């Protein structure tokens, strides 16, 4: 079953119109919210330094991770200032795939491949 995850992960992370750096940031920030400690030093510096242009609400990854219902109208309106409709759908998909892979890794006690 997990072999089907790789193409889904690839599609979410490598396709679409949200820039790759922003997707990487959202993925790493979500992993940080989840308490993933096995990240390479570059990733830690990237997250700690807010390593990318945060055009959107900086707490979106945290709110989607902890409770998607916490995304309110004002947060969506802020996203609309910076992203088109397709991109607003893409960002939660990145956060969701990060949560999904983080939980699988935790449940199976697997360390993520940090390349």
Query: How would you write the pLDDT of the chain (115 residues) with one tens digit per residue?
Result: 778 888 999 999 999 999 988 898 888 888 888 887 655 555 555 555 554 555 545 566 666 666 666 667 777 787 888 889 999 889 889 989 999 988 888 888 776 555 4
pTM exceeds 0.75 for this model: no
7-107 CATH fold: AhpD-like (1.20.1290)
Who contacts 31 (Cβ-Cβ below 8 Å, separation ≥6)?
39, 98, 102, 112
In a 3-state reduction of DSSP, which class is residue 11?
Answer: helix
């Amino acid at each position: 079953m997990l072999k089907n995850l790789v193409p889904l992960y690839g599609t979410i992370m490598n396709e679409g119109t949200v820039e790759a750096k922003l997707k990487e940031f959202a993925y790493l920030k979500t992993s940080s919210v989840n308490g993933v400690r096995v990240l390479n030093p570059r990733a830690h510096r990237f997250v700690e330094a807010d390593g990318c242009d945060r055009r959107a609400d900086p707490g979106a990854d945290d709110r989607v991770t902890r409770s998607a219902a916490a995304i309110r109208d004002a947060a969506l309106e802020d996203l609309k200032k910076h992203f088109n409709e397709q991109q607003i759908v893409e960002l939660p998909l990145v956060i969701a795939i990060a949560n999904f892979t983080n939980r699988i890794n935790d449940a199976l006690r697997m360390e993520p491949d940090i390349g």
